[in-house]
A = this chain, B = another copy of it.
Amino acid sequence: MSAALRELHDSLLSEEGGTLATYIPELARVDPALFGLALATLDGRVHAAGDADVPFTLQSISKPFVYARALADLGLEAVLSRVGAEPSGEAFNAISLEPGTGRPSNPMVNAGAILTTSLVSGDGPAARFERIRDTLSAFAGRRLELDEAVLASELETGDRNRALAYLMRNAGALRCEVDEALDVYFRQCALLATAEDVAVMAATLANGGVNPRTKEAVVPGPVAEHVLALMASCGMYDGAGEWLLRVGLPAKSGVSGGIVAVSPGQFGIGLFSPRLDVRGNSVRGVAASRVLAERFQLHLMHYPGRTAPVIARSGDARTLRSRRLRRRAERDVLHQHGGAIHLRALQGDIEFAAAESVLQSLGALPGKARWLVLELEGVTRLHPIAARMLDAAVAELGGRGIAVVTGDVHRRGLLPHASVEHASVEEAQEECEDALLARHGALLSPDTVLAWEAHDAWAALDEEARAALAAALPVRAYGRGERVLAQDGEELFLVLSGRVGLYGPGVRGRRLGSAGPGTAVQRPGQAGGGLVAELSTSGRVLGAAQQERLERERPRVLARLWKWLAGVGRE
């Protein structure tokens, strides 16, 4: 990315069109060759090229951020009643006041910005300015300093802004002293920031108002939303419409040569090059924005192509099973009645339209469905509205007698109407299978111990083997949480009650599955992993010594047992 920015920077160095701003004399003293680009991502990284660390005064780039402060302080309606939201279609310093009320057309032209600044909470101009400086600093993630020379120059030459303020005061729109309003406004314009700072400020807007580097929530999400909408419609002065058409990004330019642009939900861009076009926008900044938007397909209205289906997998428990090892009696019931348990695995970014299509699928669940396992692990983003829609559907399914069970601990609480939430989809599936088995009388209660004669291995043995094994295999009981087959020389555990969890290698090994009564587990191989009693568990253990004895005395018994085991979990 940094390389792409450097390449873009170098390719635009030959662009020497435009002229320095002159209406603030101090701005005419800046090096016209400066050119910096920066891009800040929402995970807090900043890429930069050229003079991205050279500070310049924010000028009009301050406007959207001060507007954000005013919106957060007063609320949208109160602010809209004082400053409009309509593009004026005129230059930045136009006198576009509403006839009668003097209400300026929008907060991105000077009149509207002066009025917006006056709306920020604060006891007097000094406090108000500090509040604004604190806000802009929080957007940037570092304390922004004031350029006293530029400020002095603005104060000296800001007659047109004084005129605008007096007109607004005359009309009753501006309700504080003109000097007080202008003092704060000139100061905010003279705050110094670099292209990198501006990129982070933009990324904070892109990130719902949360600074992606400091993680500070600078303004609430809806405020960021409103500021971006206003930048989209009014940000680029009288070229705003064409900007939105060609570049398609909310943006704001300043007369010192800076541009802030935002790719909502993606990142922020800061640009700085002092030579301006006739509209007062940085020539290289506009050119760089166009190239970035086109090369990286950032246009707000860009259609990114078809998405994969939101439902990645779907089926019922006749084919989609948990990884619980189950005895034949249970497998037979699941095979026959598994149509009562449905699974839908969702994936990707689920917004309104995707949720709507999930709802269609859930509405079509067959009448005999009783459980729905909703797998959310592949969901990369569940928009709040989609979560609400899904939860409403879950509640409705509940009314139809279908219990909805979700996995994935990270999504816990998103679907309050889901009847049970598990740490993983695997466990959710196991739970539903258990419930179905219970309904058909095929589930052993946790404290029932399966008779040895009812163990699946029994059926695989002949009379001789049955008699021999019953005597050879000692019974062992494990408390919940105990390691199974923990002693040296223990090779095989035939489960008669409870449940054994199978975990991958490592201290926090992933749960790979589990084994219930009537099945068996072996000691893990050299790759490690663990067997843990997930309930009070009992069964019969085959140790190395018994195995040797059987091998000597009754090898056929052992052959039968191992053959049975070689098939467990493979049917």
Contacts of A1 in B (CB 8 A): 356, 359
Whether A258 is near chain B, meaning CB under 8 Å from some CB there, is no
Which segment of A177-185, A238-246, A442-450 sits at the interface? A238-246
B248:A229 contact, CB within 8 angstroms = yes
Whether A379 is near chain B, meaning CB under 8 Å from some CB there, is yes
A384:B299 contact, CB within 8 angstroms = no
B225:A301 contact, CB within 8 angstroms = yes
B42:A229 contact, CB within 8 angstroms = no
- Interface size of A in residues (CB-CB distance below 8 Å): 97
Whether A34 is near chain B, meaning CB under 8 Å from some CB there, is no
Contact among B85, B230, B352 for A266, CB-based, below 8 A: B352
Contacts of A295 in B (CB 8 A): 385
B302:A225 contact, CB within 8 angstroms = yes
Whether A32 is near chain B, meaning CB under 8 Å from some CB there, is no
Which segment of A123-131, A135-143, A522-530 sits at the interface? A522-530
> Quick one: which of A235-259 are within 8 Å of B by CB?
238-242, 244-245, 248, 250
Whether A298 is near chain B, meaning CB under 8 Å from some CB there, is yes
Contacts of A310 in B (CB 8 A): 380
> Quick one: which of A64-111 are within 8 Å of B by CB?
76, 80, 84-89, 105-106
Contacts known (A225-B303, A349-B307, A349-B348); A525 close to B571, Cβ less than 8 A: yes
Please report the C-alpha to C-alpha distance between residue A173 and residue B169 in the assembled complex, in whole angstroms.
41
Whether A351 is near chain B, meaning CB under 8 Å from some CB there, is yes
Please report the C-alpha to C-alpha distance between residue A239 and residue B106 in the assembled complex, in whole angstroms.
12
Which of A304, A357, A527, A554 has most chain B Cβ within 10 Å?
A304
A86:B241 contact, CB within 8 angstroms = yes
User: Chain B's nearest CB lies how many Å from the CB of A155?
Assistant: 31
Contacts of A299 in B (CB 8 A): 225, 229
Please report the C-alpha to C-alpha distance between residue A565 and residue B561 in the assembled complex, in whole angstroms.
12
Please report the C-alpha to C-alpha distance between residue A226 and residue B266 in the assembled complex, in whole angstroms.
21
Copies in the complex: 2
Please report the C-alpha to C-alpha distance between residue A42 and residue B562 in the assembled complex, in whole angstroms.
56
Please report the C-alpha to C-alpha distance between residue A226 and residue B293 in the assembled complex, in whole angstroms.
13
A232:B525 contact, CB within 8 angstroms = no
A349:B380 contact, CB within 8 angstroms = yes
> Quick one: which of A326-350 are within 8 Å of B by CB?
347-349
Whether A570 is near chain B, meaning CB under 8 Å from some CB there, is yes
Q: Which residues of A contact B (CB under 8 A)?
A: 1, 41-43, 45, 76, 80, 84-89, 105-106, 206-209, 221, 224-226, 228-230, 232-234, 238-242, 244-245, 248, 250, 263-267, 295-308, 310, 312, 319, 347-349, 351-353, 356-357, 359-360, 378-381, 383-385, 505, 522, 524-527, 551, 554-556, 558-559, 562-563, 565-568, 570-571
Contact among B239, B357, B555, B567 for A556, CB-based, below 8 A: B555
User: Chain B's nearest CB lies how many Å from the CB of A414?
Assistant: 11
Contacts of A296 in B (CB 8 A): 352, 385
Excluding A229-B244, A232-B233, A264-B303, 10 further A-B contacts by CB distance (< 8 Å) are A87-B233, A224-B303, A229-B245, A233-B233, A233-B245, A295-B385, A304-B383, A380-B380, A525-B571, A555-B555
User: Chain B's nearest CB lies how many Å from the CB of A80?
Assistant: 7
B381:A304 contact, CB within 8 angstroms = yes
A242:B86 contact, CB within 8 angstroms = yes
Contact among B86, B229, B563 for A300, CB-based, below 8 A: B229
Contact among B239, B301, B522, B556 for A228, CB-based, below 8 A: B301
Contacts of A232 in B (CB 8 A): 232-233, 244, 300-301
| A552 nearest in chain B by CB position | B556
Contacts of A556 in B (CB 8 A): 551, 555, 558-559
Contacts of A356 in B (CB 8 A): 1, 41
Please report the C-alpha to C-alpha distance between residue A525 and residue B565 in the assembled complex, in whole angstroms.
13
Please report the C-alpha to C-alpha distance between residue A224 and residue B240 in the assembled complex, in whole angstroms.
19
Please report the C-alpha to C-alpha distance between residue A303 and residue B84 in the assembled complex, in whole angstroms.
23
User: Chain B's nearest CB lies how many Å from the CB of A315?
Assistant: 12
B86:A88 contact, CB within 8 angstroms = no
| A571 nearest in chain B by CB position | B525
Please report the C-alpha to C-alpha distance between residue A443 and residue B238 in the assembled complex, in whole angstroms.
69
Contact among B76, B84, B228, B357 for A43, CB-based, below 8 A: B357
| A264 nearest in chain B by CB position | B301
Q: Name 22 A/B residue pairs within 8 A (Cβ), A-sorted.
A: A1-B359, A41-B353, A42-B353, A85-B244, A86-B87, A86-B89, A224-B301, A226-B301, A232-B244, A232-B301, A233-B233, A233-B245, A263-B352, A297-B383, A297-B384, A307-B349, A310-B380, A319-B505, A347-B347, A378-B378, A526-B571, A562-B562
